[in-house]
Amino acid sequence: MRQTKNVGIFAALLAGLAMMAAAATPAAAYKVFVSNEKENTVSVIDSETLAVVHTIKTGARPRGITLTKDTKWLLVCTSDDNRIEVFDSKTYEHVKNLPSGPDPELFAFHPSGNPLYIANEDDNLVTVVDIHSDKILVEIPVGVEPEGMGMSPDGKVLVNTSETTNMAHFINTETNEIFDNVLVDTRPRVAEFTADGSQVWVSSEIGGTVTVLEAATRKQLAKIKFEIQGITPDAIQPVGVRMTKDGKWAFVALGPSNRVAIVDAKTFEVVKYVLVGQRVWQLALTPDDKLLFTTNGTSNDVTVIDVNRQRAVKSIKVGRYPWGVVAAPF
Amino acid sequence: MSVDSLGTARPSAAPVEATQRLGLGAYIVCFRGIVWREVLRFLHQRERFLSALVRPLVWLFIFAAGFRQVLGISIIPPYESYVLYEVFVTPGLVGMIQLFNAMQSSLSMVYDRETGAMRTLLVSPFPRSYLLISKLVGGVAVSLLQVYVFLGIAYFWEIEPPLIGYVTVLPALILAGLMLGSLALFMSSVIRQLENFAGVMNFVIFPMFFASSALYPLWRVKESSPLLYEICRINPFTHAVELIRFALYGQIDWSSLAVVVGCTIVFLGAAIFAYNPSKGLIARRGGPGG
């Protein structure tokens, strides 16, 4: 009865195949806002249908994008118009403009919801703005070409990275003064605190690394290097960094290598590289940490990654040169 | 299993009279006999099973690894995001499995004819077209086994179409298998000797496989050679691969479906004509078995 046995094996194989369910994670519907650098627009994506539902016109060269703590306002750095534009996050209407100092690129809110800390790329400053009185409170001189802005969860420390000085500047938000500088690899782009505030992750675009610093001591805990089979090392340019709230996973956008690295945030080991669009730049997680949105600058789209499955789900066409991205909790 | 004897059930009866007396049940028995013989033959030839699996896997693990960076710069339907080359090439390799299997099954026809085994089949009282179609379905059944085992292994290589895709791909596989099988069947009627078959492999399998969308997307081909692009577009194998590719992701490529169905009808008609003892090519050469 050899044949019956063989048939049995095949039946088992087919049954096995049938059971390999790629369980889709049902995600709640959120609005995801993407700034399109060369089109002067913001695309609004519905995270359930994964389609662009609206496009907001903005000033020149929109880059950094965020929401106020009460999520009523959407703030966009319009770099070439040297201001922050404020939109109603539900009606998409323009509310007002905030002063920002020249060439605002990225910004971070104090956890209390005000003030706003803005990196002025051309002016070597971090500008602190009160979003209700529309006034500049103070300007903090930092290194050359400031960019990344990471706020500690308790609001006491702001970390700013300067692209040319290759430093992470630790700023005391009470005194608005730098109290420590840490040298990192070339062209630091983004600084991101872990949810518990114990670590700061700094990505270095040209250095091709992510440096993990202990927030309290500013000592280096780890340096994460990336290696992708078949990709030249100079194409691996880490920029956007995001971490899940449970502290398990970190995501690093690797620029022209068209990959997002998924890093085990406990061991600092890269577990996977996910193929996305071209020149992946900034990242945003939905509030439930189930989906990750990546802005792919040169392919003009946004790739959606299923966090649990660690797979790209879909790429959505947006405007030209998508740059920044933020997900709203509604 | 006395499968081989099924086809020779009534050697003494005149074919025409016998056909009139044969009921539906007899047809089913004959059909089951031929299909089951094909499947058993395949399952018992472990080397063949292994080689049928190793061929696409070598392509997947080695060839595709080298070409990993070829894609990822454009999203082509039915894919919803950027895909690695392995993912793209999988439907092409499924097509390759079916193509090789079809050729191998028609090779067995030539072999049967040379050794005289075909004679026992052809003296059966059933219409010859029915025997041919049964033989064809047997070949398709074997290719389905190969394809699903291949897809099962590929799943662990992160080629993960949606689960429903494994179901929706089945009709596409059957259609593509029928098309390639009937083409091979037709070819087997033209080939007199086993030795000639190697030439046909070179002249049919390789051009069909390489000048198609199995290994590279057609827009890529268009970039380098518009002529080659047109050749690929009229290649029925391209449409078989595209039909499988879309079906694997739960979608239907209507134009490919039309081409595959059309080609199946034409090839099968040609094969039945060629094997017709009174009119076909076999008759002209003086009958099977030489």
Q: Give the model confidence (pLDDT) of B151-161 as tens digits.
A: 999 999 888 89
Q: Is residue A203 in a domain?
A: yes
Whether the ipTM is more than 0.85: the answer is no
Instruction: Check pLDDT > 90 for residue B3.
Output: no
Q: Is residue A52 in a domain?
A: no
Ranges A124-133, A136-145, A296-305, B34-43: which has the least confidence: B34-43
Check CB contact under 8 Å for B68 and A229.
yes
Q: Write down the residue that tokens 């990546």 correspond to.
A: A294
Q: Is residue A298 in a domain?
A: no
Q: Is residue A303 in a domain?
A: no
Q: Is residue A234 in a domain?
A: yes
Q: Does the CB of A3 have a partner CB in chain B at under 8 Å?
A: yes
pTM for this structure?
A: 0.83
Ranges A82-91, B23-32, B190-199: which has the least confidence: B190-199
Nearest Cα of chain A lies from the Cα of B193 at a distance, in angstroms, of 31
| Total domain count, chain A | 1
If pLDDT is split at 50, 70 and 90, which confidence band does B131 have?
confident
pLDDT greater at residue A271 or residue A7: A271
Q: Is residue A41 in a domain?
A: no
| Chain A residues within 8 A of B83 when measuring between CB atoms | 275
Q: Does the CB of A235 have a partner CB in chain B at under 8 Å?
A: no
Instruction: Convert B108-141 to b/e letters by CB count within 10 Å (16 or more is b).
Output: bbbebbbeebbeebbebbbebebbbbbbbbbbbb
CATH of the domain at A248: 2.40.10.480
Q: Which domain holds residue A239?
A: 194-275
Cα(A216)–Cα(A200) distance, rounded to whole angstroms?
Answer: 10
Q: Does the CB of A299 have a partner CB in chain B at under 8 Å?
A: yes
Instruction: Write out pLDDT tens, residues A158-200.
Output: 999 999 999 999 999 999 999 999 999 999 999 999 999 999 9
Tell me the count of A-B CB pairs closer than 8 A: 58
Instruction: Check pLDDT > 90 for residue A115.
Output: yes
Check CB contact under 8 Å for B81 and A2.
no
Cα(B198)–Cα(A256) distance, rounded to whole angstroms?
Answer: 46
| Chain A residues within 8 A of B148 when measuring between CB atoms | 13-14, 17
Q: What is the mean pLDDT of residues B266-273?
A: 91
Cα(A317)–Cα(A300) distance, rounded to whole angstroms?
Answer: 6
Q: Are B213 and B156 in contact (CB under 8 A)?
A: no
Q: Is residue A254 in a domain?
A: yes
Q: Are A36 and A323 in contact (CB under 8 A)?
A: yes
Q: Is residue A322 in a domain?
A: no
Check CB contact under 8 Å for A2 and B162.
no
Cα(A210)–Cα(A78) distance, rounded to whole angstroms?
Answer: 27
Q: Does the CB of A258 have a partner CB in chain B at under 8 Å?
A: yes
Give the model's pLDDT for residue A183.
95
A163-171, long-range: CB < 8 A, 24+ apart: A163/A121, A163/A187, A163/A188, A163/A189, A163/A205, A166/A204, A167/A143, A168/A200, A168/A202, A168/A211, A168/A213, A169/A142, A169/A143, A170/A218, A171/A126, A171/A140, A171/A142
Cα(B57)–Cα(B47) distance, rounded to whole angstroms?
Answer: 15
Chain B interface with A: residues with Cβ < 8 Å: 1, 40, 43-44, 68-69, 72-73, 75, 80-84, 145, 148-149, 151-152, 155, 160, 162-163, 166
Give the model's pLDDT for residue B132.
85
The H or E element containing residue A270 is strand A269-275
Check CB contact under 8 Å for A13 and B149.
yes
Q: For A12, name the nearest residue in chain B, comparing CA atoms only.
A: B149
Instruction: Check pLDDT > 60 for residue B224.
Output: yes
Give the model's pLDDT for residue B26.
86
Q: Does the CB of A137 have a partner CB in chain B at under 8 Å?
A: no
Main-chain phi, psi angles of A276, to 5 degrees: -130, -165
The residue type at A56? I
If pLDDT is split at 50, 70 and 90, which confidence band does B84 have?
confident
- Percentage with pLDDT > 90 across chain A: 88
